[in-house]
Structure 1
């Protein structure tokens, strides 16, 4: 149920309201691609989930009850800064405890932003099971006008439950290379073969959100161009384009002016980035057609693109977009964080993801609660644990993050609590991402790089090219604990993340964690104070912290580990076989002893004929 309470803000000379939703998170069944019915995460026994719409300045209140019965959950408000409300960010074991089945939590925060966002579960890997939808913040003062508006979500879709895929296929000794599970299909507004009805000579604002777990998608509309006016909640100077590359968690708003006709419907084309896939099943449809519908009675033609043409599409380069506010390049950084993405195996035989050899491992106490309870030690990285990969930031410092990629795949990185300036990237955008794959990775060189833009683009998700790098800057002006992670959910599950503890002293002064959040932790059996090891007596004692598995000893390789595992399994199977056959011989001997001596010879002859000895 949605309830609206209008609050007059006379002192501001404007109207704002409280927008309230009551969410009961439940299992439902759905079949969005028409190929397989499956269990999905619904809200109030419905799926797709409700689109949340507010106006800039509104108070958003969501009362969430976990009615799933068998697993915890949360809600992350993707792209919301949560200034002074860091505890509402929704990242489990970072800013809150996961909400156990049967428990409730209220999210309550003011939306002082505008644009295109989304909400999704941020507990383990639950959002690809359907727990995700758009969050739109309308702005009457937006720097553009339009006649109508559409919100479009793009997503990959799996026919199996994600936790089962993760344990059986992905984090498994049978997948030593870390190949990501391939989706079963690709959806448009949680369905397929749908239309956006339009009128001639009108301008429409189309909001595009990639809510996938894994795969980026190209987007274009046959016979039309459009103007980009927003990326990730940041208004941009209107910039004409005909094709977009939308990575996981990225958002665009575009203005499209329709033709002066009512006879033809035009394909809206989405093409999955097949370069991300280790294989393409014969029945996987990479390119999908929906329609810009001028006439519902006219033909709805299929797009003519071939799958092999996808890498030939040249999308608009987002690093060239100029924000409307003309915010200039931030000054030289006070702090630089330089990390390298690595994929490697640990002694479990599984493939893990690393930033500088650290694979993110959840602490035993949410990191925000550690910051709030550590007193003066909150400024010490050590209390947050080695394997959360913590970095403490001073208040209002200019921070530069350099991410190098030693991996052959691309990674859309998201920073909670901020958007950031994107000031350098190599190689260039689009198909050129793969230009470096024939050689060694190319890392950022501070003494040899292209000139930084005077007015850089800003967004909260940016794509790290294969074997390349990117450089970003932001101001640490939002006290809180913020996770920085790859938004490919398989990679987050395998550890591709780190946390930034921003201005912990100011955090302690400004933040007060609500009682119902603390009650959720108690119900979950999780402490709300202490270091990453849940030690409340000595915050510098981390001996009991959760840790990543150990490294493979020198001389072993991933193939060696797998071979060793299979050798051990073969040995175990062999021993079991010997025992079974041995017991069978005992049984036969006992049966022989019950047969009269005169008949035993015949029995022996028959067994020899029917069961010849095996070499």
Structure 2
């Protein structure tokens, strides 16, 4: 495991070498014009008079633009104004990002090259001005579309001021590319200001589905450093468009949103005065768009907000009601899970967390999708003369104190396209709600999970200790994680510090396999907190073989929980068999496969994964504030 990474270099003069067989070049930034030399004016400005003329032209143009700007932002409770506008990128006549599988599903594997420059810029995604992270001036970042087997090369240049960064490819296994996983402190050091890093990895031939990428340094994801990553399944494996009978694919990146900088939000949380109560978000974004009511702003926290009447356009979705759609939903949020509903429509979930099949059934609404989780669903619109809306209902489990600025249930209008056929005449679904947390695998029994695994038990909680000044800190087995100066991938285990919990798992050598060598690992995640935790494992997908309290199928109701201490709801497989555990016997017949699992409050989840991917892989709560406070560990598979 002692490796160093030589792909980091100064941004100036970078050139990403491209293989000869590159067939797709995307998001490449044109080279800068270096035809002029320092201290020498360009040839089209021969004398000082021209300088004066050009300067006058720019002054007049600026004055004209300033005078013509409409809908200037305003600061609630203040008199300051500004000409900052909120840039919006339109997709499909609205906020839905339309995907293009036809460009990928029928071609052979290729090498896709991208050149990303990460900066900060002011945007007003929901009407409130905030400094966000942008990639090539885009927020959210560019959507990556590929197919199974593609090689991905991304040259990431850090143009931030005094901030390192790294990019994690959420859900991708990164086989033989552990150093490309983007986990600061584990697989790489942050990309420093003015430097670049070349991410270079190959998508597995059996990998497909809905993924995403996001920043994995401190809290940058929570301020918008993320984007979609879609791996289309090639038609030689399965023609999903024909199998599921949809006309178009639409990506929806849905997540809660905070108006304050994430560093301030985390500082508020990691203070004794928060008492461990998570900061409640202010708003909600879909693909970087929202609709915050300026009158909801808290006077003690004034915001610079554009009144709805003065905004260029309000976020909406556009669908042709005569077509069916594949919705790819991603929860990009920092804290909150969500449920989704569309009026006079049926939703048929069929995949979760990157191409993992689940039992398909039609429902009027689906959820809960927790931070880091994804779900693919078929949308079928019914005949209706009434106004349609998409409704996002934010889960309030971690809302321990009120935030008057937040509207927890938000609606986005659906506008018909010009060739709207009026919708299908099929009847509404009989199910009111599809509980995604109760979903099961759709293809029958799985013999592989019957093997006796190597077992681990972990306990996770948030503690406020006097020796740490009562600051809320996330712990896993008495260890609160923080990154080392040198990433673990470049260190021997003897040099791991006290903040690293990294159990070692022996990698099976197929050519010399013994009875003691077992690829399957079972992890019991016990949650001692009074709020749930969505845990994400890097580099692997896993089967969820048990959850307590068990989710209720086809219902939005959470399972009943009896207060009275946490010990009675924990599970230790070394002292108790699964048959007499709180949740009962494991589901080894049709467990769902995921890479992010929600562990209920005062309960537990049991996962099994095949430890056949060499490397050091992070596992952490995907609530940004819990990760920022130390709720993380790693698995050393070597």
TM-score normalised by length of structure 2: 0.70
Q: How does 1:212-611 map to 2 (within 5 A)?
A: 212-233=333-354, 234-241=356-363, 242-260=365-383, 263-294=385-416, 315-324=434-443, 327-328=446-447, 330-346=449-465, 347-349=467-469, 350-370=471-491, 374=492, 382-396=494-508, 397-429=519-551, 433=558, 435-436=560-561, 438-441=563-566, 442-444=569-571, 446-447=576-577, 448-449=580-581, 450-453=584-587, 454-503=589-638
- In structure 2, what is the Cα distance between the partners aligned to 1:106 and 1:266? 45
Aligned residues: 472
Contact 2:443 2:590 survives alignment (8 Å): no
Partner of 1:115: 209
Contact 1:214 1:248 survives alignment (8 Å): yes
CA shift, 1:436, in A, is 2.2
Partner of 1:606: none
Partner of 1:98: 190
- In structure 2, what is the Cα distance between the partners aligned to 1:477 and 1:490? 31
Contact 1:444 1:470 survives alignment (8 Å): no
CA shift, 1:490, in A, is 0.4
CA shift, 1:225, in A, is 2.1
Contact 1:218 1:315 survives alignment (8 Å): no
- Structure 2 SS opposite 1:276: coil
Cα deviations across residues 388-447 of structure 1 (Å, max 9, x unaligned)? 111001224210000111110000000000110001001122765463252222112542
Distance 1:458 1:180, change over 3 A: same
- In structure 1, what is the Cα distance between the partners aligned to 2:149 and 2:181? 18
Partner of 1:26: 119
- In structure 1, what is the Cα distance between the partners aligned to 2:571 and 2:557? 17
- In structure 1, what is the Cα distance between the partners aligned to 2:450 and 2:635? 20
Corresponding residue to 1:171 among 270, 295, 299: 270
Distance 1:90 1:65, change over 3 A: same
Contact 2:369 2:436 survives alignment (8 Å): no
CA shift, 1:187, in A, is 1.1
CA shift, 1:182, in A, is 1.6
Tell me the C-alpha RMSD between the 2 structures: 2.5
The answer to which of 225-234 and 412-421 deviates more is 225-234
- Structure 2 SS opposite 1:191: coil
The structure carrying a bigger helix percent of its residues is 1
- Larger radius of gyration between Structure 1 and Structure 2: 1
Contact 1:336 1:401 survives alignment (8 Å): yes
Contact 2:366 2:436 survives alignment (8 Å): no
- Structure 2 SS opposite 1:483: strand
- Structure 2 SS opposite 1:73: coil
Q: How does 1:190-201 map to 2 (within 5 A)?
A: 190-192=288-290, 194-201=315-322
CA shift, 1:250, in A, is 0.3
- In structure 1, what is the Cα distance between the partners aligned to 2:418 and 2:369? 28
Distance 1:296 1:276, change over 3 A: farther
CA shift, 1:280, in A, is 2.3
CA shift, 1:40, in A, is 0.7
Contact 2:175 2:613 survives alignment (8 Å): yes
Distance 1:444 1:47, change over 3 A: same
- In structure 2, what is the Cα distance between the partners aligned to 1:269 and 1:439? 36
Contact 2:444 2:590 survives alignment (8 Å): no
- Structure 1 SS opposite 2:264: helix
- Structure 2 SS opposite 1:252: strand
Contact 1:154 1:208 survives alignment (8 Å): yes
Contact 1:28 1:47 survives alignment (8 Å): no
TM-score normalised by length of structure 1: 0.72
Contact 1:414 1:485 survives alignment (8 Å): yes
Cα deviations across residues 474-504 of structure 1 (Å, max 9, x unaligned)? 110100100110000100111111110012x
Distance 1:437 1:489, change over 3 A: farther
- In structure 1, what is the Cα distance between the partners aligned to 2:486 and 2:352? 34
Partner of 2:62: none
Structure 1, unaligned runs of 5 or more: 299-312, 504-615
